Amino acid sequence: MAEFWRWKEYNWKDPDKDWKTAKMITAGIDVGSVSSQAVIATDGELYAYSSMRTGSNSPDSARKALEWALQDTGMKQENIQYVVGTGYGRVNVPFANKAITEIACHARGANFMAGNSVRTILDMGGQDCKAIHCDEKGKVTNFLMNDKCAAGTGRGMEVIADLLAVPIEQVGELSFNVPEEPEPVSSTCVVFAKSEAMGLLKDGWTKSKVLAAYCLAMAKRVSELLERIGVEKEFFITGGIAKNAGVVKRLEQVIGISAVQSKYDSQLAGALGAALFGQALLQKEKAAGKVA
Amino acid sequence: MLANYGYKDGSGEYFVTIDTDKCTSCPHHGCIDGCPEHIYEMITDDYDDNVSAVRRDVRNTLKYLCAACKPTTGRGVLPCMAACTPGAITHSW
């Protein structure tokens, strides 16, 4: 049976960089509720990364993500001088030197990815959603998290993609294939939204129209979170949902502010921030003479 | 950072907010002994700063623990807020 929610796992390394010449090699492991990312940074620059689905075992997921990021680099885990774990499974990264909350790591990662003028970050994760305020250094000044429901998160989108038999990567694009914007579906709960979507399909709505209604519902739900904390420019979106144009464009319309674009993969923000924290902590330890 | 500790239920929202940027410059940490219920503790945060936080084991019972300092009438300044010289502590209710 096809699994339409299943997004493609991937890894990457910078072919122009030689890690052997780097003075500092650090890694960030973001074990999220749905996906895990490993980022390897050399001298504070992105060198390699991987992104894969989190399994039932967090230490295993962390290990596999790092192994995949290291693949074809010639680098071994022993070459990494400092590892920071983050995300929902951060305390279960067995080889991490330190665990740091994903809120702090996303802010630091967003600061690197989209520049130091970013003040508001929306982290649209697998099973939660956070609105974060930060300063010019990427330090968190305030944040808000969604209530206890997967509506407005990546998992909610996966459920709808599966119901409609639409590959998750195509959801955003397909949702624009409507003559006019429909009313949003229920945004209180994913289960209610799914029931409502099934009813709409039976009423003769096209898949695109249902997707448009769901994307709009998601945009409205997260906009409430943003309104509570306030949106200060510049605004940046991290997490997997940032790749869904159907939600991002509608959210931009609802709040009246465009999100900053970045050349980096939005899903890496947490792990990248963790690797950058690792860099700073390693520098601190070196300065204190704790490590060579 | 504004660190919020607490919860909301059917009766309202019960959050203690600590502005940790103010904590880092505070040499006294008066909150630790200032609270009669000892709900505060010092922790090292994500930025390696020594800041005050609400103890994990009391975060879901703040409504009841703080009730003694919040009489319906004649409510003065809360002891924790009075003890916090940088003014980092606020209560949502």
Q: Can you give the pLDDT at residue A291?
A: 78
* Mean pLDDT, rounded, of chain A: 93
Say whether pLDDT at A152 is over 90: no
Two tokens at A12? Answer: 């990457």
pLDDT (tens digit, 9 = 90+) per residue, B16-58?
999 999 998 898 899 999 999 999 999 999 998 999 999 999 9
Residue A161 near residue A208 (C-beta atoms within 8 A): no
Number of Cβ pairs < 8 A linking chain A and chain B: 17
* Residue of B2, B21, B46 with shortest CB distance to A104: B46
Residues of B within 8 A of A281 (CB-CB) are 48
Whether residue B1 lies within 8 A of chain A, CB to CB, comes out as yes
Residues of A within 8 A of B48 (CB-CB) are 281, 284
Share of chain B above pLDDT 70, in %: 100
Q: Can you give the pLDDT at residue A1?
A: 61
CA distance A127 to A89: 13
Mutate to test the interface with B, among A86, A142, A277 (most CBs of B within 10 A): A142
Q: Can you give the pLDDT at residue A126?
A: 87
Share of chain A above pLDDT 90, in %: 80
| pLDDT average, residue stretch A189-218 | 92
Q: With residue B17 as reference, give the H or E element that holds it.
A: strand B12-19
CB contact under 8 A, B1 and A284: no
| pLDDT average, residue stretch A238-256 | 95
pLDDT (tens digit, 9 = 90+) per residue, A40-59?
999 999 999 999 999 899 99
